[in-house]
Chains A and B, each alone.
Chain A
């Protein structure tokens, strides 16, 4: 694909501004009605989905050329997809999120990269991770853990920790806990250790298209060799990459997020949560597990016009509306914990506000990432919850770092933390 392939999507924007709001039917207050961190933080129309589509058209028509502002327009956005959900309420033929991603691909392919992203991409190429850490330390989180090493052994399930859990010292313990819980529940599970590679998904979101294919191969081959049928990950971004992006390039494994796996184990009686956790919590839907966590649907088609001028796809093109994301599993797990009360924020599920860490924003625009997280923490506090719970290490890290600097405290957990407390 090329940006030219999205010309009609750019031209079709009706400038309605739905992309800036949560689905209008769901608005409950002025305070939490907004959907798009980018335009809320940056202000100008160009920093919305609609604005970016017009900028895309302007680029295609040669009306503008590359400069720093254009790079900001393209990258000062988490690509969280909230805009796309709202837009598709009415305009579900517009591929807004894809068009914005395609603009990134184009800029990177034209050599117009963000300097702040460069070290991370170099790290990815050299050290196979997005944390700028040595490859040799990737397996350290699992040292002395009694778990199958899938470079030497076989297992039905591979636990893919992901870059953040592998290297973030404050979060590593959760990866250990998770894989141990699964093993203890009788799951035939193993890890790749030092040989695990980045999924390539974050780089792909940043505009580095080719990296995805390379890292998909790097991960999938050893999984196949180890007899893996199911990939389990505690990281929402990895989940999205494996579930939605890898199948596009031909790799098919069953992909399950840890919260889904735990939900299954609880339902089958393999995991029992018996200890009381007297907390009121609110659950934050990670974008890549929720609205962007819909499974890939294989499709190829051609465009034609019916009834004179209605452009349609034959056969019907799959719809990605956010409806089929993973929303129930984490809530099921939380609701079964004795003593725990789950309260919902105003913006949930397919129209949840982003944590701020995605799309390369955390690395290139840290103030914007922190501002976005702060908005979410405010929303969480408005529910009277004592803690915000997520299911992604990127969300957790950004929330925890932002919360540290705030006067009014709120605890930050992963679902796994609460499960561990309840066991």
Chain B
């Protein structure tokens, strides 16, 4: 269904001919998505092809486009960096707004510690700019290549430093929102003309409305600007980089420490989470290295340091005595970065950590104390510029579980996550990297108190049997979770695409009223229903 010439010309008038296309090849570059293969017929890598793609250059253009969409009842979907199939059209007849021309860090207010950003300001850029002013931002778990605004407005936006810098949804301050009907709403203090400093007022607080239960992910209008809260950064104005591509590293400032801490079992590990919260010593606290599997991950991280080696050499590394020892040593582990606001502060934090480790029977993993590993670790964790190594095995992974909660709650579902994964790894259709490839924040909100573990399942994206097994794994996990009274995690959203309302009600909505209310909100704000299902709703019936 091509756009009528009237509509195309109306859109072209808004952005100019250079910034609109309906060419099939260009459209397929937007339709192509990671994870499309888990939700599309025949495991296609392509989501529905958009009818046109537009690159608006400012809020006024976005607003004009949305108004045309309302006039002609055309669905639209905006994305920032385009990572994740959430950004792509979910049905035919959608136009894609690619926000890459809105890429500025508009303002950094040092005194009040916030930055005003546009959708295509990626976390790596925002961090680089604010570091010069002695500040830091939350880099979402997805890494430095992802949009900071999206984490703040459309999804969770938690990352390794969230325990100190907050989750981005917490950090959202004033925002400029082109609502699905084409009106522009300025939220929080911005709505009262008081500046960007607050999300809740004076002015309209819309956080819950626009986000819904999990974040609307492009299904509820377009954010064109927002302010995010920043945190102190007592480090260098820019990372001094050493090392050979790809294993870049950064020298450790004297007031910084980077550790991999390990424990004898899960109970001790989760007990340490509580103590980290209580003592407020962590700048970064995240379970990161295990995302590549507790059995295989250590070998990969060690080979990655050698620029002459590649994944092709991983078996050789797994066999090394040193690697086997490190693998055993860091089986129940996570990563910590301590940052002192002064030398005395770092000494104090170091002492507290020692005491926590003593009380929980934990230890610092020796390999990661070697200067080069430490420096690699510091840069990796704080910039998160190599996060897509989670694709290195096969080009495809799905994350299951990931329910946020207290450490005790997460500890409860951890064995289930391992059991359900082991069963599928044993078929040979998913990567057997150990049943624990769980990654997640030690503290996903500022101050801690909430954490999560996402179990990665790796499948060969170019192999249909492997992909099919991964899909079955997702479904199996959901069933097992239901049996154990654990609400579904991220996998529920993957399955949301193309699911019937009955299935959604069964699989997703522990309290269907939530999604029924979201439907009412959606009808009010998006009267022509031009957004997609990622703002999850249920029929009233």
Contacts and interface: CB of A to CB of B under 8 A. Distances in A.
B130 to A, nearest CB: 11
Contacts of B460: 305, 309-311
Nearest to A68: B23
A18 B145 contact: yes
Interface string B385-420: 111110111111000000000000000000000000
A145 interface: no
A29 interface: yes
Interface of B: 18-19, 21, 23-26, 28-34, 45-46, 53, 55, 81-84, 98, 100-101, 103-105, 121-122, 124-125, 127-129, 143-145, 238-239, 241, 244-246, 248, 250, 296, 307-315, 379, 383-389, 391-396, 425, 427-433, 458-463, 466
Given A12-B395, A25-B250, A93-B395, 15 more contacts: A15-B33, A17-B145, A21-B122, A23-B246, A29-B128, A43-B18, A45-B82, A54-B29, A63-B24, A63-B28, A73-B25, A308-B425, A310-B393, A310-B458, A312-B312
Contacts of A48: 29
Which of A15, A64, A89 has the largest number of chain B CB atoms within 10 A?
Answer: A15
Contacts of B122: 17, 21, 33
A58 B25 contact: yes
A67 interface: yes
B394 A311 contact: yes
Contacts, number: 236
Contacts of A94: 395
A99 to B, nearest CB: 13
B314 A312 contact: yes
A150 to B, nearest CB: 37
Interface stretch (A207-215, A315-323, A331-339, A403-411): A315-323
A54 B81 CA distance: 16
Which of A21, A29, A307, A317 has the largest number of chain B CB atoms within 10 A?
Answer: A307
29 contacts: A11-B45, A15-B82, A17-B81, A24-B383, A24-B385, A25-B248, A25-B383, A26-B241, A28-B128, A30-B125, A33-B124, A43-B19, A44-B29, A44-B53, A51-B32, A57-B32, A57-B45, A89-B246, A89-B386, A90-B389, A90-B392, A92-B310, A309-B459, A310-B458, A314-B312, A316-B310, A321-B307, A322-B245, A323-B307
Contacts of A308: 425, 427-432
Contacts of B385: 23-25, 27, 89
B19 A25 contact: no
Given A14-B388, A305-B460, A89 B245 contact: yes
Contacts of B313: 316
Contacts of A23: 245-246, 248, 385
B248 A29 contact: no
A367 interface: no
A44 B46 contact: no
Given A18-B145, A91-B391, A319-B308, A54 B28 contact: yes
Nearest to B248: A25
Interface in A232-247: none
Interface in A72-99: 73, 85, 88-94
B225 to A, nearest CB: 15
A323 B312 contact: no
Contacts of B393: 307, 309-310
A350 B245 contact: yes
A21 B462 CA distance: 26
A25 B241 contact: yes
A55 interface: yes
A72 to B, nearest CB: 9
A33 B393 CA distance: 27
Given A27-B128, A63-B46, A12 B383 contact: no
B388 A321 contact: no
A15 B36 CA distance: 11
A307 B426 CA distance: 10
Which of A18, A29, A48, A53 has the largest number of chain B CB atoms within 10 A?
Answer: A18
Contacts of B395: 11-14, 91, 93-94
Contacts of A146: none
Nearest to B310: A319
A217 interface: no
Contact of B105 (A30, A88, A321): A30
Which of B53, B315, B394 has the largest number of chain A CB atoms within 10 A?
Answer: B394
B83 A16 contact: yes
A8 interface: yes
A154 B433 CA distance: 59
Nearest to A53: B32
Contacts of A305: 460
Contacts of A88: 246
Given A7-B462, A11-B461, A64-B25, A93 B245 contact: no
A108 interface: no
A61 to B, nearest CB: 8
Contacts of A46: 23, 25-26, 28-29
A261 interface: no
Contacts of A64: 24-25, 28
